[in-house]
């Protein structure tokens, strides 16, 4: 629908005072006559405006600016001010990941001698709630992986999990610019994985030096992806806070703090590594109690990181979620960057979780009924 930029300003005080709300609305329209002819210069038509509007409001912000559409919240754009310039931050906009994925897959297809074609690409995500709110379940990674899979299939390219991971990692990194790419690994390999991220500076240098096909075929420094098998009695539960968090911004904030807290940061890294090694051995020995102890310890380690970086990882509602679960014989922690989104619970499948769930519900926490998914349609 084409919209006339009719603006009705209710108040106008931008730049002076915070929290001043400016609202504008513009109506939709309906052609009555003269369609198509009107495309040609000078040809008449009749059009009406309708009492259905798009409304836009603006409120001054002290840090990042956001551009959010109620209907397309996952495509929100963040921006910041640099002098007179508006610097866009498109890392949370799904379309950038799709375009980047297509471009990578096509670069690979061309190097394999394929002839380029034109196509339509449709995306439908189940990784956001029906109301459009983001669960934080890695929709940007999944859309990147799915797009590369589709385009590579379209061009009939040979595919392995390792190649798919590498293509998707390059595509995702070129949009988000930070992050571990662990979400890409999970989306490619499926099931439970151990993931160690590769040297991003090496990849940057490699991209400037070698061709894509060569880079995909060689081992990537420090990268490790390995499938893990959880013990049979392990049950995973997901608690959703209902409030979205931006991984890229949280990761930026921690990165910003780490140079002024070098020692604490190094201690955090060492403690996390040790804790994770114990956790992984819990999978190797099929020990639920070792895994639960590891989850508990990792929660403490992350809360310590939160306190010296002053980044809100375990928000009050996430704390509530964890505390309720812990009171019911479970181990629990924030998931991913925290700051909202989801938390996870590891509990024995012998435990009765009905009161845990009732308490979550009365605290505004929703259990997401998703299950772990194995991937068998691509070669390792």
Give yes or no for residue 337 binding Mg ion (CB under 5 A). yes
Give yes or no for residue 309 binding ligand PMV (CB under 6 A). no
Residue among 238, 162, 147, 157 at smallest CA distance from 193: 162
Name all contacts of 254-257 with Cβ < 8 Å and 24+ positions apart: 254/305, 254/309, 254/311, 255/178, 257/308, 257/309, 257/310, 257/311
180 binds, among Mg ion, ligand PMV, none (CB under 5 to 8 A by kind): ligand PMV
Pick one of 100, 136, 155, 295: the residue that binds Mg ion (CB under 5 A). 136
Give yes or no for residue 136 binding ligand PMV (CB under 6 A). yes
105 binds, among ligand PMV, Mg ion, none (CB under 5 to 8 A by kind): none
Residue 81, both tokens: 């001010």
Residue 307 parent element (H or E): helix 288-309
- End-to-end alpha-carbon separation of the chain, Å? 46
305 binds, among ligand PMV, Mg ion, none (CB under 5 to 8 A by kind): none
User: Least distance to Mg ion from the beta carbon of 338, Å?
Assistant: 7
Q: Rounded CA gap, 148 and 167, in Å?
A: 7
Sort residue 233 into left (φ over 0), alpha (ψ -120 to 50) or beta: alpha
- How many chain residues bind ligand PMV (CB under 6 A)? 12
Pick one of 164, 185, 337, 345: the residue that binds ligand PMV (CB under 6 A). 337
Pick one of 239, 294, 336, 343: the residue that binds ligand PMV (CB under 6 A). 336
Give yes or no for residue 125 binding ligand PMV (CB under 6 A). no
Contacts for 262 with CB less than 8 Å, ≥ 6 apart: none
* C-beta closer to ligand PMV: residue 90 or 335: 335
Report which DSSP code applies to 338.
-
Give yes or no for residue 303 binding ligand PMV (CB under 6 A). no
Pick one of 96, 247, 298, 315: the residue that binds ligand PMV (CB under 6 A). 247
- Contact residues: Mg ion, CB under 5 A: 136, 245, 336-337, 341
């Amino acid at each position: 629908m084409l919209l006339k930029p009719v603006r009705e300003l209710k108040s106008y005080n931008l730049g002076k005072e915070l929290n001043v709300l400016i609202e504008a609305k513009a109506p939709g329209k309906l052609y009555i006559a003269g369609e198509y002819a009107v495309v040609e210069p000078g040809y008449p038509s009749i059009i009406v405006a309708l009492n259905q509007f798009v409304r836009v409001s603006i409120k001054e912000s002290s840090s990042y600016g956001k551009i959010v559409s109620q209907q397309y919240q996952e495509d929100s754009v963040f921006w910041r001010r640099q002098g007179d310039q508006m610097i866009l931050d498109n890392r949370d906009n799904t379309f950038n990941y799709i375009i980047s994925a297509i471009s990578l897959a096509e670069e690979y297809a061309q190097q394999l001698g394929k002839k380029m074609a034109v196509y339509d690409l449709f995306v439908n995500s189940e990784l956001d709630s029906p109301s459009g709110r983001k669960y934080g379940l890695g929709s940007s990674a999944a859309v990147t992986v799915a797009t590369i899979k589709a385009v590579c299939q379209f061009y009939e390219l040979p595919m392995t999990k390792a190649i798919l991971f590498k293509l998707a990692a390059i595509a995702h990194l070129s949009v988000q610019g930070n992050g571990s790419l662990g979400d890409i690994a999970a989306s490619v390999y499926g099931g439970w994985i151990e993931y160690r991220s590769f040297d991003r500076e090496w990849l940057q240098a490699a991209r400037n030096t070698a061709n894509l096909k060569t880079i995909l075929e060689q081992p990537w420094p420090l990268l490790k992806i390995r499938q893990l098998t959880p013990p049979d009695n392990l049950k995973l539960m997901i608690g959703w806070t209902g409030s979205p968090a931006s991984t890229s911004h949280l990761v930026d904030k921690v990165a910003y703090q780490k140079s002024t807290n070098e020692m604490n940061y190094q201690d955090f890294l060492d403690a996390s590594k040790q804790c994770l090694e114990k956790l992984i051995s819990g999978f190797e020995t099929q020990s639920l109690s070792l895994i639960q102890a590891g989850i508990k310890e990792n929660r403490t380690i992350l809360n310590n990181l939160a306190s010296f970086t002053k980044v809100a990882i375990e928000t009050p509602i996430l704390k509530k979620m964890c505390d309720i679960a812990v009171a019911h014989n479970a181990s629990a922690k924030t998931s991913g960057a925290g700051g909202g989104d989801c938390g996870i619970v590891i509990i024995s499948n012998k435990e009765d979780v009905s009161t845990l769930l009732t308490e979550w519900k009365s605290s505004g926490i929703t259990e997401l009924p998703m299950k772990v998914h194995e991937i068998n349609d691509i070669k390792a």
